Structure 1
Amino acid sequence: MYCTVKEIIRDVLDTDVPDSECVFAVVLTRGDVRHIAQDWSLTDDELETVMQRLDDAFEYGADVSVVHGVVRELMEEKRASRQVTVPAVMLEKVLALAGSEMKRLYAVGSENGATVMRSSGKNAKQWTLCYRRWTGSTCHEYQHRNPRNSAQLQSRD
């Protein structure tokens, strides 16, 4: 139950429990949750979101791992929706570097048995460079895809 202290006390007093029966209650303040989740350095807005989600999670009982789980879930949501801004000059340099690396890998791969696959039709500018190199009995495979749109190198060892 995420609410004020007075509301919690009213709710406990309204509970139909005999006077002789003992109950167990856990109170987590925002400070407690901030301490439990100190590895994440939560902002006030994030902390409020965590507190509201904990209200739902603790409805049927829970432990500290629930706090960690809720915070991890929130951080994953933030990470998944983040946007990165790169200055155009820097992006241009990265793409030029990727293009020259593609040419170098193509040249090296041609000498060592690489396979270049090109697509046809409207995507004719897209291609994949597969480069395999052997070290003893181990094959190392590298792939580059569409250097104009991506500067990713995938290594499969």
Structure 2
Amino acid sequence: MKRFLWALLALPLSVLAVEPSATATAPVAAAPMVNSGVAGQLTQLVFGLLLVVGLIFFLAWLLRRVQQAGPAGKGQVIELIGSRALGPRDRLLLVQVGNEQILLGLSPGTITALHVLKEPVEVPDNSEKATPEFAQQLLKILGKDQKDKK
């Protein structure tokens, strides 16, 4: 992978090395220099663009690899049970930490513990209720059933 990256980095520089120098004094060579200059610049532009796009894909691949190496989601202690929007920027969150459930108020810049529940709230395991109405209608139109996903 490193060879490929170095090859992509070296391509625009190799195009510069191939271009004829501006010190040529022959009048016959002047006409091809204009064409090769534009072609060389276009080639350098294309290779530079390919380098940037390749670098973006490489960084995305690297980020995905680093995230997979992190802690697995199954071993997390904190779990979001539910949430409710109170306004455009304010929410209520029900979070389970170990055996306790905590009701949190979330607003821009602050998170406030509102209440620690003595008895945990039982959450229905029905996935169809958790799906918004629009998504349910869209799945019905597309002919896909939620039960097929499991």
* Shared fold (TM-score, shorter chain, > 0.5): no
The structure that has the greater radius of gyration is: 2
Quick check: which one's strand share is greater? 2
Q: TM-score, normalised by structure 2?
A: 0.29
Instruction: For CA contacts below 8 A with separation 6 or more, give which structure has more relative contact order.
Output: 1
